[in-house]
Amino acid sequence: MKRIRAAGTLVLCSAAVLLALAAGCGGPSPKEQMQTYVNDCVAPVEEVNTAFATVAPALSSIATAKGPSWIAASDALSKDVRDTRTAVDHFSSITPPAPLKSAHDSLITGLKDLAQAVDQIATALKNGSYDAALLTGPALTKLLDDGGAARRAWKSVMVKQAKDLGVTIPWKWE
């Protein structure tokens, strides 16, 4: 009987210790979650900045001359597509804090759509199809606007959350 009582006491004490430990382990604070998210976003933000900075010059070079400039523009746009898709992969691997989930998902969708449109233009130029590249141009302009809007919306929500939590953002959108 003493053994059963001792075993019961041991089980109850163990359960009490486990409950006490679990109660103290609430996970990272909202500030810590935001700081982790901000730190995780450094690389993809730089990739997006690089891609967005070179898309417009590459597109404007299309109109200046035919032939070799198309190939150069196609090569530049293909690099932008790779940079954007790398950023999408990075953003997709990051788990945002709950208040940023919707904006984070919209950013990824906007960047995917942009990469697809730029890829179509790059392929058309590489194949010497200036007309096909021009037909995609208005769609690209809309996607650049939409992508820019998704970036601004994400940045707005993120900056507000970071500021509210006292988290510093170490980068900026170009």
Whose CA is closest to 96, among 154, 167, 174? 154
Q: How many residues does the chain have?
A: 174
pLDDT-based confidence at residue 17 (cuts at 50, 70, 90): very low
Q: Identify the CATH number of the domain defined by range 28-165.
A: 1.20.120.30
**Percent of the chain predicted with pLDDT > 70:** 70
Task: State the pLDDT at residue 32.
Answer: 94
d(CA 73, CA 54): 10
Q: At what angle do helices 130-165 and 30-40 cross, to 10 degrees?
A: 150
pTM, whole model, 2 decimals? 0.75
Task: State the pLDDT at residue 153.
Answer: 82
Q: Token pair 């959350």 is at which residue?
A: 161
100-142, pLDDT tens digit by residue? 999 999 889 988 988 888 888 888 888 877 776 666 666 666 6
What ranges do the domains of the chain cover? 28-165
Q: Which residue has the higher pLDDT, 97 or 73?
A: 97
How does the average pLDDT of the chain come out, rounded? Answer: 76
What are the DSSP calls for the chain, one per residue? -HHHHHHHHHHHHHHHHHHHHHHH---S-HHHHHHHHHHHTHHHHHHHHHHHHHHHHHHHHHHH-STHHHHHHHHHHHHHHHHHHHHHHHHHT----GGGHHHHHHHHHHHHHHHHHHHHHHHHHHTT-HHHHHHHHHHHHHHHHHHHHHHHHHHHHHHHHHHHHTPPP-----
Q: Is the pLDDT of residue 14 over 70?
A: no
